[in-house]
Amino acid sequence: MANIQNILVALDLARENQTYDNFYLARDSKTKELIGVARLEEYPEYYFLSSVGIDPKFQRRGLGKEFLDQLLKNCLKPVFLRTVIPDFFKKAGFQVIAEIKVLAQMLPAKEEAECQWCQPEKCTLMVKLPDATKISGI
C-alpha cells in the first residue's frame, strides 16, 4: 500500500481516509516496479474510475493509455469518471458529458472522492461506453 500511496501523493491524488480496495496496478514488465495505479469500482449499471495515474518518472511514454486500455478492455458497462485532465481521457475513448441531476445522483458523490479539495471548477464528468461488439458477442 505504501507504493500506491507514493504514486497518489506524487500525482496529488491522495485522499484523506484513502482505502485501497478496487485498485489495479501497472508494473514494469522487467523490474516489476510499480509504475501506475487506478481504482475501478463496479456498480450494478456502470463502473466508476478514479485515482488513475502513472508515476511521474514513467510518464510521456504512452503507458497511461496502455494501462487504461488493458484495465477497461473487458468492461461491458459504461465507465464514468470525474477528471481535471479530460484531454488525456479523450485519447482513451472517453467523452465529456453533462452532469445532469439524475446522473449525479446515480454516481458516487463528489464528496466521496474529495473533489471539493481538488479543482472543482475544472472537474469534468466523462464516460466511455462499452464496445457494442463486446456486448453482443459479435
What's the CATH code of the domain at 108? 3.40.630.30
Residues in a beta bridge with 50: 39
Cell of 114: 474529495
What percent of the residues of the chain are helix, what percent strand, and what percent coil, each to the nearest 5? 35, 25, 40
pLDDT of 91 higher than 80: yes
**DSSP-derived pairing of the beta strands 47-54 and 124-128:** unpaired
Q: Is pLDDT above 80 for 39?
A: yes
Q: Please tell me which of 13-17, 118-122, 123-127 the model is most confident about, judged by mean pLDDT.
A: 123-127
Beta strands (DSSP E) in 43-120 are 47-54, 79-83, 95-96
Structurally, the chain folds into a number of domains equal to 1
Query: 28-37, 68-77, 94-103: which range is least confident on average?
Result: 94-103
The pairing of beta strand 124-128 with beta strand 23-27: unpaired
Neighbours of 126 (CB within 10 A): 19
Cα–Cα distance, 5 to 85 (Å, whole number): 20
How would you classify the pairing of strands 79-83 and 47-54?
Answer: parallel
Q: Residue 45 belongs to what domain range?
A: 2-136
Q: What percent of the chain has pLDDT over 70?
A: 74
Tens digit of pLDDT for each residue in 20-33? 788 888 888 888 88
pTM for this predicted structure:
0.79
Neighbouring C-beta atoms of residue 66, cutoff 10 Å: 14
